[in-house]
Structure 1
Amino acid sequence: MNADAVGTPRPRIEGRFKVTGAAHYAADIPVPDLAHGWMMTAPLSRGRIRDIDASTALAMPGVLGVLDHRNAPRLNPKAGNYFGPDGSLRLLQDDVIPYAGWPLALVVAETPEQARAAASAMRVTCDGEPHDLDFTLEHPAARPASTAFGPEADIGDLKAELAASAVVLEERYRTPEESHCAMEPHAATVWWDSDHLYAVDSNQGAFSVSEVLAALWSIDREQVHVRSEHVGGGFGGKGACGPQVVLASMASRRFGRPVRITMTRAQVFETTSSRPRTDQVMTVGADADGRLRAIHHRAAYALSPLSEYIEACTEQAKILYSAPAIRTRLTAVPLDVLPPASMRGPGATPGSFALESAIDEVAERLDVDPLDLRLRNQPTVTPASGKPFSTRRLVSCMREGARRFGWAARDRRPRSRWDGPLLIGSGMATTSFSAGVFPSKASITAEPDGSFTVSIGASDIGTGARTALTAVAADALGAGTERIRIRIGDSDLGMAWGAGGSRGTTSWSFAITEAAKKLRENLHDPVRPMTATVDTTTMIDFQPDRERQTYSAVFAEVTVDPATGEVRVRRLLGMFAVGRVINPLLARSQVVGGMIMGLSMALHEESVRDPRTGRLANGDWAGYHIAAHADVPDIEAGFVPDYEPQDPSGFNGLGEIGTAGTAAAIANAVWHATGTRQRILPIRLDRVLEQTTAVAGEPRGARSYH
């Protein structure tokens, strides 16, 4: 039996297809008689459409027609997403404008250039209404967030523990709206054949998109076939049914031809989704010896009234530290904004920025090493629920990360290291991210030539899922990887969890492993079929008696120029506990990419909206800054030995744990360099400059050489 594919670094199976152009994406799949759609979007945050004049556009060359709320096909208003009915899917159904960027009309033409030119000739008159973009934790419309991900923590006597604390910290932390910025813009190519709908779409789960499209059109799911063979990134922004595939299905139905919609980068920014703004207040009490007594995490996030969503910022406060009193309160603030969506490390990424910044501030006030403070307050069971941990190698991550980083040589005093005119600082942070599996269906066929065909509705959004699942199948079947053929990215392959929530690979691997077991049993009996199919729905415990998480410790070294406020990251090091690693090469790629995304969040990313209209002022890659290769000259990632006992193969997900925690580590390093706290992301030059010069007592623009 060959059982060494898992744990061996292997290059991506589809790499050659991608670099040679043989891999087809939603925007370049060849389809005959193809027409093209171009969206017109709302220039204001709230209002109504008074009039649409399409006469000039309709007379232009190549134009097939214009869809708007007056002539578009009617959709089922009850169709929704994971959380229930979703108003953002009701495109071109009425004259209401719920946010800036909302599609008002779709021009369809023979070429994308003709459609775009005709859209510029359209005349749309809108009546604006008072809009609300003013986001704060104390907003009068704030309401308790859904507890679908678990109840709030409310243990111990918070007031008494704070009163008994030697140190009490209460500070506010804010994170901005952020865009997912996947490399591939959203695109869909859609056509109808009688009452059957076919779509090639850029998404993170073909099966779930087929379910939503079926609901929108009030047809059976079996009448919808969605393919997503290759997807150029998602980060959560393609996790739900997107406007591109909905509008293309409407246009194809109306004009009787295949229709393709390929968004521009600006359209992706204004029309799809984003990570919501958060406003968080941390209250932490501790004894003089560094024992935490109380943690109170209050958080709010911006929400669109169109659909439900949970940005679970307070989860880490329930898990990471032991304290006699822990309370969390999460609220949603409905505003006239783009509907938010999960973005890499949802909840945990902004939440850990607040929590881990606050823990560092407590260490500062106690004059305790921040690593030591974290080590002193590690729980033996889940603090909020009392559940035992399934596996918890966070201490190993911290200790090994500190050793590799050289943390022991760090001088705790801020502003204690200089490199010529530059201040140098180092910081750290820890975090966790929930792990587990969701139902999926897998089939494996033993072929006459001795190979195996594995079919599962998984999605490879650039993570290397094909390669990882090939290794899992090879070991489960006792075959070499060269004998495994993987079929994914197709709704006809059956129900499967999408690529998201750090549960894609674990969910698919579980289904494949169980199907392989069944097939191997069949192979001993020539009467049994040579195909084995397994649906794991009834095999999963959705309320396990143990807390299943992944963990990380991130260390950062930064330089800060006190004359300009510029922050540069010199080093990033992350240690991760993610269960058994399937492919070290792909795993490192995932967590390194995650850390770079966390760096980008810390120093660069911020969607800025015009308060008068709600439109994005920087809704493209010229104005919205993201980290590039030059921003991270030295980055290291490692994995501590780990095995997840609740998974038959010992796996856990790792797609998001790299991002959560990184921003806090960088912010803590900036404090160590400058002696000033940055509680608002991103850490912009102007914020650093103002605070650093004030603390140092130096005139702005002066340089100190030590």
Structure 2
Amino acid sequence: MTRLQNAIVGGVRAVLGHVPASWLPGGTPDPLIDKRVALGGQQSRVDGPDKVRGAARFAAEVPMEGLLYAAFVHSTIARGKIAELDISAAQAAPGVALVMTYQNAPRMSVPPPIGMTNLKAAGNHTLPIMQDAEIRWNGQVVAVILAETREQADHAATLVRVRYDAMAARTRFEEGKASAYTPESILVERNRLDKGDARRKFAEAACKVDAVYTTPWENHNPIEPHAATIVWREGKLIVHDATQMVHGTAGSLAKIFGLKAGDVHVSSPYVGGGFGAKGLWDHQILGAAAAKLTGRPVRVTLSRASMHRLVGGRTQTEQRVALAADADGKLKALLHQGYGVKPQHSVCDEGFSLTGRSLYASESFDIVQHYVDLDLLANSFMRGPGETPGTFAIECAMDELAHALGMDPIELRRINAASRDPVSGAPHSQNAMMEAYDLGAARIGWDRRTAEPGMRRDGEWLIGMGCATGTFPFTRMPGTSVRITIDAAGDAHVASAAHEMGMGTATVQRQHAADRLGLPLDRVTVTIGDSSLPFASFAGGSSQTASLAAAISAASGKLAVQLMRMAGNDTPLAGLKPGEVEFADGGLRSVEDPARHESFASILGRAGRHELSVVGESGAPLEILKYAMHSTSAIFCELRVSNVTGEIRVDRLVGAFDCGRILNAKTAASQFKGGMIMGLGMALTEETLLDERTGRIMSTSLADYHVPVHLDVPDIDVLWTDIPDPRTPLGARGIGEIGTTGVAAALANAVFNATGKRVRDLPLTLDKLI
């Protein structure tokens, strides 16, 4: 087993206590791959009408009597101690009920870190929170103000006076590289990969490229700011949170406050965008602590500025990629080395160096990454963590190699596309990357591209085309559970503590349950987003759909057994075994003789039961022990660059995806386009601006941190191969992150084709082109 596989199996044991022998890797495709009614269609999201009407209640909209509003005072130094803290004016301000500092905060344990072996944790860093006078980053909360209104709390926060004893802080990336540390593992995979004597083969190769690519620190900006409404009732903690880690947040808060797991209830039915940001950060913990002190409910709603100071994002990276090939373009050596920022207290690995291990069949590899430990906010997961900055470097380098060889960039990728995992030799579960390239090239009209840069123009505009590969691994989280309840009318109710962040989770699982149980869509309901429901892992790593699909499949199998037992002998199904029946027409029927059928309502009615409930678990993703499992994409871009101002205007983006079976064409297209727009922002505008003298983040609003808006977004086409993966539930793999990976490289490569200028430093701002 690889380290990642060991970690996943370890996580299963941690959650479930054992790994059943029945969860071994199989090769039989899910029968619903080919027997689908609702799945695969253009179903609208079930939560759409409530959101349009304003009936969907988000975390900052839960009404409570006696509610207090929180505001934060942030530190203005990166390292040191609080020498003097004057809160008297704030305490005397109108409406203020409490000012909480390290001097009166309740005792709290360090947040347990999120990880594969601790699926009931959600902490993003391992620092004490408001337990002492020490300052560990610029932006750390030094005081919490609770007042009767948000305006009163914000005003009182301006009245707090703090004097610090500042210490020398490590805030400069270039200086930090000299003392960077090299972890043994990255995301539990061995960090250093040295295979096939890559340095010698690089030196001897006929053609080679060797360059450094950089990506900036990026911040999350979901449309819904981080928020929580918190109350203590009879010693129990109730949190209405904007989280993509319901059970992890509940489990972490229980540890922090010394509570039993059942004494924390987290509800999060709707989340207005997560992208990796909506985990457990200081604001929920501080809100719960302040609510405990006052005995009143508290609402925490972070401003954009507070979000940038308290919620980590994508780390800055510096990556050297060196590629060597023979005269025919066959890769002889792939070297990928670099630096990222990861403070020792951060728990997130930005595994950019993992990208090149799976895409191309190089004869040799030399891969390692290092981390710079700075006195900054902990970095965290951001859509396509690792692969998003990693594909920028690898795919730009592939374009540079193609140009050096005088070869079409698609042809170079075709020559080197891996037929098996290039490192382990494991077979692919399913891979059609080059079919995706064929689809995308035809759609964008790749034959119009000129190999020589700068040859196409329209007045002052230089026109170019570029392509790049995107990749993201398949993941299915262990222990995810679903409860299916059949009521007296024969309708099905599906429940799990899963998450809806805008990607259509409830919609797709409703479709799945309807097909699985032989019911029309209007007879299936789905409830998610509450820690009182059966366990579900975090919504991340493009893992949730496959995890829930496996759990629904397991639950339906249990349901068939229970229904057959309940039916007894006085039924058309008498004498049949569970394996000899199937769900159809609102009940069970014989596979061999479909006329032998009985409805759910009839079975329950004869048994005198009002309902029947079963719980199914997803099981361990042991398919990854045998197969290499990645989704891939081919991203294409056509753009123009002004030879006067350097302005870039993107005319078209095309994404062709190989992600297994697509379960809902409408929600999938939305996910792909949203991911590509996020990649567009990474390529052209997004950059967190840090004052390295003080460690202060300067770009703390949407006026300073630029995300794409409507006029920035070009025509986007999305296509997919729709080839089912026989090793996954429903034949599907995750699609949440694959849309972002590869986009920045495709734009950078198109800029080179337009101008002949190779920009290796994101974002691609006009000052780098004029």
Correspondence for 2:756: 675
Hey, what does 2:230 align to over in structure 1? 190
Letter in 2 for 1:291: K
Q: CA deviation at 1:373?
A: 0.6
Name which of structure 1's ranges 650-659 and 490-499 shifts more when overlaid on structure 2. Answer: 490-499
Query: What is the CA-CA distance between 1:78 and the residue it aligns to?
Result: 6.3
Contact residue 428 and residue 553 of structure 1 kept, 8 A: yes
Q: 1:411 aligns with which of 437, 450, 463?
A: 450
Aligned with residue 68 of structure 1, among 85, 93, 101: 101
- SS at the partner of 1:215? helix
- Per the TM alignment, residue 535 of structure 1 is displaced from its structure 2 partner at its CA by 2.5
Separation in 1, partners of 2:133, 2:75: 11
Distance in structure 2 (CA, Å) of the matches to 1:86 and 1:506: 24
Instruction: Please list the CA deviations of residues 232-262 of structure 1 after superposition, one character each: whole Å capped at 9, or x if unmatched.
Output: 0011111x21222111110111110111110
1:525 to partner: Cα distance = 2.5
Please list the CA deviations of residues 36-85 of structure 1 after superposition, one character each: whole Å capped at 9, or x if unmatched.
Answer: 11111111222211111111111112111111111101111363332888
Counterpart residue identity of residue 617, structure 2: D
Counterpart position of 2:556: 516
**From 56, 59, 78, the counterpart of 1:45:** 78
Out of 264, 269, 274, the position equivalent to 2:313 is: 274
Partner of 2:129: 91
Corresponding residue of 2:65: 32
Query: What's 1:133 paired with?
Result: 171
Name the amino acid aligned to 1:295. Answer: L
**Shift of residue 582 of structure 1?**
0.9
Residue by residue over 1:440-487, the C-alpha shift from the partner in whole angstroms, topping out at 9 and shown as x without a partner, is 011000011221111111100111111111111111111111111111
How far does residue 543 in structure 1 lie from its aligned partner after superposition?
Answer: 4.9
AA partner of residue 320 (structure 1): L
User: Once the 2 structures are TM-superposed, how far is the Cα of residue 303 of structure 1 from its aligned partner?
Assistant: 1.1
Q: CA deviation at 1:429?
A: 0.1
1:254-302 deviation per Cα after TM superposition (whole angstroms, max 9, x unaligned) = 1101111101111111111111100100011111111111000002210
Q: Which residue of 1 aligns with 2:617?
A: 535
- Mapped pair 1:12 → 2:45: yes
- Aligned partner of 1:285 in structure 2 is 324
Within 2, Cα distance between the matches of 1:381 and 1:510? 26
Change in Cα spacing, 1:403 to 1:533, as seen in structure 2 (3 Å) is same
Contact 1:305 1:336 in 2 (8 A): no
Distance across 2 between alignment mates of 1:472 and 1:89: 42
1:448 maps to which residue? 488
> Structure 1, unaligned stretches of length 5 or more?
690-706
Query: Which whole-Å CA distance do the structure 2 matches of 1:159 and 1:88 have between them?
Result: 38
Q: Which of 623-632 and 665-674 deviates more?
A: 623-632
Assess if the C-alpha contact under 8 Å between 2:38 and 2:515 holds in 1: yes
Q: Deviations over 1:107-162 (max 9, x none)?
A: 11111111111111111112222112222498122112333342243210112211
Question: Aligned-pair distance for 1:331?
Answer: 1.4
- Please tell me whether residue 161 in structure 1 is matched to residue 194 in structure 2: no
Write the distance in 1 (CA, Å) between the matches of 2:410 and 2:199: 27
User: Separation in 2 of the partners of 1:520 and 1:3?
Assistant: 19
Alpha-carbon distance in structure 1 between the residues aligned to 2:176 and 2:343 = 17
CA contact (8 A) 1:443 1:534 kept: yes
Check if 1:343 corresponds to 2:382. yes
Tell me if the contact between 1:318 and 1:383 (Cα under 8 Å) persists in the aligned partners. yes
3-state SS in 2 of match to 1:66: strand
Q: 2:281–2:310: 8 Å Cα contact kept in structure 1?
A: no
Question: How many Å separate the matches in 1 of 2:443 and 2:52?
Answer: 35
In the alignment, which residue of structure 2 is the partner of 1:696?
none
Could you tell me which of 214, 218, 226 is aligned with 1:178?
218
Q: Is the 8 A contact 1:88 1:339 kept in 2?
A: no
Task: Note if 1:599 corresponds to 2:680.
Answer: yes
Does structure 1 conserve the Cα–Cα contact (< 8 Å) formed by 2:334 and 2:364? yes
Q: C-alpha displacement at 1:31, in angstroms? A: 1.1
The letter for the 2-side match of 1:218 is: G
TM-aligned CA deviation for residue 89 of structure 1: 5.6
Match of 1:77 in 2: 110
- The answer (yes or no) to whether the contact 1:288–1:366 under 8 Å persists in 2 is yes
CA-CA distance at 1:174 after TM superposition: 0.3
CA distance in 2, matches of 1:382, 1:627: 36
TM-score, normalised via structure 1 length: 0.95
Distance in structure 2 (CA, Å) of the matches to 1:356 and 1:674 = 18
Moved more, 599-608 or 285-294: 285-294
Q: CA separation in 1, counterparts of 2:384 and 2:493?
A: 33
Quick one: structure 1 residues 44 and 360, their matched pair in 2 at CA, closer, same or farther if it must change by over 3 Å? same
* Aligned match of 2:161: 123
How many Å separate the matches in 2 of 1:137 and 1:597?
A: 30
SS in 2 for 1:491: coil
Query: Contact between 1:320 and 1:431, CA under 8 Å: does it hold in 2?
Result: no
Deviations 1:85-117 (A, max 9, x none): 865562211111111111111011111111111
Displacement of 1:656 in angstroms is: 0.3
Task: Tell me if 1:688 matches 2:769.
Answer: yes
Matched-pair contact (CA < 8 Å) for 2:470–2:634 = yes
Alignment of structure 1 residues 399-438 onto 2, 5 Å: 399-438=438-477
The answer on 1:216 being equivalent to 2:245 is no
Other-structure match for 2:720: 639
Deviates more, 1:205-214 or 1:151-160: 151-160
Q: Is the 8 A contact 1:315 1:348 kept in 2?
A: yes
2:113–2:347 CA contact under 8 A, matched in 1: no
Instruction: State the distance in 2 between where 1:542 and 1:365 align.
Output: 40
- The number of equivalent residue pairs is 687
The residue aligned with 1:693 is none
Matched, 1:548 2:629: yes
Q: Quote the Cα distance in structure 1 between the aligned partners of 2:714 and 2:353.
A: 32
Determine the C-alpha separation between the residues in 1 that align with 2:729 and 2:161. Answer: 60
Give the Cα–Cα distance (whole angstroms) in 1 for the partners of residues 211 and 484 of structure 2. Answer: 54
Alignment check: 8 A CA contact 1:205 1:489 kept: no
Q: What CA distance in whole angstroms lies between the structure 2 residues aligned with 1:236 and 1:559? A: 32
The 2-side partners of 1:436 and 1:305 are apart by 26
Pairing of 1:457-468 with structure 2 (within 5 A): 457-468=497-508
- In 1: Cα distance, 2:628 partner to 2:169 partner: 42
User: SS where residue 315 of structure 1 aligns?
Assistant: helix
Q: How far apart, CA to CA, are the structure 1 residues paired with 2:101 and 2:288?
A: 14
Structure 2 distance, partners of 1:365, 1:416, is: 17
Q: Which residue of 2 aligns with 1:692?
A: none
